[in-house]
Structure 1
C-alpha cells in the first residue's frame, strides 16, 4: 500500500454512488482478506451489473485520486494509506457494543483485578483489548502528580543539601542540590518549615502555583539566600517529576507476528515494541489523543511512533475522578483492522476504565 498522493478533502463529492460502492468493496475485501481484488471479481460482487471493463474505468479514477494502488505487478488493487484514512473518516459505519460484550468488558476489568492496584486493572484492560481485537492491547498511563505528605532539606556538607519529598502513597524522592554560598545553618530548618506549610496536602504543581501567589509573603518572611534554597529545591523536584516517563502496558504482542511474515516486517514490529518500551514519543502521543476527546485512529505513518511498523492504532483517552485525562488505551494491529468493530470496543473500554479510576480516585 504505497501512495504519496494526498487525497483531496472534497473527494466524497467527486465520487458518485457507483464509485463509492466499488471503493467500499475494495476496502472491505482488503480488511477481510488482505489481498488485492481485480475488476472481474468486483463486477461479480456488485449489486448492479457492471462489466469488468466498466469497473476498470472506475478503478482508474480511484487510483488517480490516490485512494487505491496496485501492489507490485498485481492486476488487483488495494486501498492506499490515504484511501483507508478517507474510508475511516467518511464512510466507516460504526455500530454499538452489544449487551453481551459490554457485560464481558465490565466483568474482566471490574473483577478481581479491581481490588488490586490501578496497574492491575489497567493490565486487565490491555489483556481484554488484545483478546477482543486479535491485535496487541496497549495502555499508556501518565505518572500521577502525587499529593505531598512531607518535604524537608537535609545538609550533606558545607556546599550541598538534599531535598526530600514523601508522597501520600509512601513513595520517596530526593535530590541533591548546591546550597547558596554563605547560607546559615538555621536556613535549612526555616526553608523546610516554609515549604512544609505551603506544600503538605498539595501536589507539586499546586505547590508551584501557591508559591507564585505567595511570593510577596515569602519575600518578607525569608531572607534572600533562604528564598533561593526554597526555589532551587522545588525546581529540582518539580523537574524530576514532570520528566517521569509514562507507564506502558502491552499485551498480545504475539498476535502481530505470524509465520508468514517477511524478515523486514518482523524487524519493523520488533522496532515498534522497542520504541514503546523506551517511551520515545509517548508524551506526544498522549497529547495527540487527549486533544481528540474521543477515539483517535492513526493509520500507518500518521504517527511517527508507529510509522516504521506500518501498523494502525486505535486509541481513546481515559479520565480520573476529576475528569482529567490521565492516559490512553487501545489496540495496535495491521492496517486491515476491523475498524467498525474495534472502535466502539475501545471507546466503551475507556469509559469503563474511567469509571474505575473515579472509584479509585
Structure 2
C-alpha cells in the first residue's frame, strides 16, 4: 500500500464529518451516483437533520473532498477525496478461501508445462475476471537461460534464427546473412553457439563468446564468426530496445458502463499510450518504486490522467528478489479498492513464488 498521508485534514474532521464523508464515498464506489442530504439523513442517526448534513457537506466541499456534479445535485468524492479516503479510512478486506483457491488453481494450472508468456496471460485474464476491470501484466524481457539456437536459411541473404530457452519458450527472428555464407557454415555457427551458450542468458552468452575470441577464430572461419557475433549482437540489442511487453485482458469491462463517445475515446487513448515504449517504461518505474501494492487514482500518474482511470499495481520478483515485472487492475476511479488490493497482492506473491 501507499504510505498513509500525513494531512491535517483528518484531524480537522470530527466523527460526524468523517461518517458523512465515508458514506458519500462508499455510495460512490458502490453505485457511482451522487448522494444528497435527504438520502444521507435516512441512514444517519435521526438526530441529524438534512440541514445539518448540508452544512457538513459544505465544509467537506470547502476542504476539496467532495463536489456537486450539477446544481442541486448530491455530492461525489473528488479525486483528492478518493485519495484521502484510500489513505486514511479504507479498511482492506481479505480474500476468501474460495478466492484464494480460485487464484491458486488458475495460475498454477496455467504454469504447469506452459511458457512464461502463457502464465502471465492467464494471470491477466484471471485478474480481469475477478475484478471486472482490465487485468494488466507487465513483463520485462525475460532473461531466460538458453538451451538451443539454430540458424535456418530462408534465402541467400536471410536466415531464421530459432532460440529455445530451458523453460521451453521459443523465439524466432529473421536476420540478414553475411554475403556468400553456405549451409555448412550456418550449421558450424549453430554448433559453436550451442556448445557455449547452454544455461546462459543472452547477455551472458554474448560476454562468453567475446571472452572466447581466440577460440572462436580457431574454430570458425570468418563468415561463420561474423554470423555468431552479428546474431548475438542483434538479439541482445533488440532485447534492450524493447524493455518490456504488456498483456492486457478485459478491455471490454472498461467499456461496459461508458456511454459518452468522449469517454470511449479517452479509454482508447489510454490503451494506445500504455503500449508505447514510454508507457511501458512508466509502468515499470511504478512497479519498481514500491515493495508492495500501490494505488494510482486518476491524474496522480500522467499515463492515466487523460482517461481518469485508476490503477492498482504490485511488482513480482525473480529468485534473486529482483523486480522483473508488475501486475494489476485498471478500472474507473470507483474500483472496489478494498477487495482488489489483496487480490493483486496475493497474485503478485504467487507469481513470485512460482518463479523461484
TM-score, normalising length: structure 2:
0.77
Which of 14, 27, 47 is equivalent to 2:12?
Answer: 14
Tell me, in whole angstroms, the C-alpha distance in 1 between the residues paired with 2:203 and 2:88.
41
- Aligned twin of 1:121: 119
Q: Distance in 2 between matches of 1:235 and 1:57?
A: 68
Separation in 2 of the partners of 1:352 and 1:231?
A: 38
Q: Secondary structure at the match of 2:30?
A: helix
Per-residue displacement from partner, 1:310-340 (whole Å, max 9, x unpaired)? Answer: 1111111112222222211111111111111
Task: Decide which of 281, 302, 305 is 1:304's aligned counterpart.
Answer: 302
Q: 2:32 aligns with which of 16, 31, 34?
A: 34
Once residues 304 and 12 of structure 1 are traced to their aligned partners in structure 2, the CA distance between those partners, rounded to angstroms, is: 27
Deviation of 1:176 (Å)? 7.3
Q: 1:48 to 1:292 in 2, by over 3 A?
A: farther
Could you tell me which runs of 5 or more consecutive residues in structure 1 were left unpaired when the two chains were aligned.
Answer: 1-6, 152-161, 179-194, 223-229
- In 1, Cα distance between the equivalents of 2:257 and 2:100? 33
**Number of aligned positions between the proteins:** 337
Is the 8 Å Cα contact of residues 280 and 305 (structure 1) preserved in structure 2? no
Match for residue 79 of structure 1?
77
Check whether the contact 2:273–2:303 (CA below 8 A) recurs between aligned residues: yes
Taking a change above 3 Å as real, the CA distance of residues 125 and 76 of structure 1, as seen in their structure-2 partners, is same
Does residue 1:352 correspond to 2:350, yes or no? yes
Which residue in the other structure is 1:137 paired with? 135
1:40 shift after superposition? 1.9
How far is 1:112 from its partner?
Answer: 4.9
Instruction: Give the direction of change, closer, same or farther, for the CA distance of 1:48–1:314 in structure 2 (3 Å limit).
Output: farther
1:181-220 aligned within 5 A:
201-206=199-204
Cα distance in 2, alignment partners of residues 296 and 259 from structure 1: 25
Contact 1:175–1:237 (CA under 8 A) maintained in structure 2: no
Give distance in 2, aligned partners of 1:39 and 1:141. 47
Partner secondary structure for residue 123 of structure 2 = helix
Note if contact 1:8-1:65 (Cα within 8 Å) is conserved in structure 2. no
CA contact (8 A) 2:242 2:277 kept: no
SS at match of 1:248: strand
Q: Aligned with 2:355: secondary structure?
A: helix
1:138, distance to aligned residue in structure 2 (A) = 1.3
The partner residue of 2:266 within 247, 265, 268 is: 268
C-alpha root-mean-square deviation of aligned residues, in Å? 4.1
1:132-179 CA distance string (max 9 Å, x none): 11111111111112445689xxxxxxxxxx9x996646646687799x
> Partner of 2:153 in structure 1?
none
Q: Is the 8 A contact 1:70 1:77 kept in 2?
A: yes
Cα distance change on mapping 1:166 and 1:104 into 2, 3 Å = closer
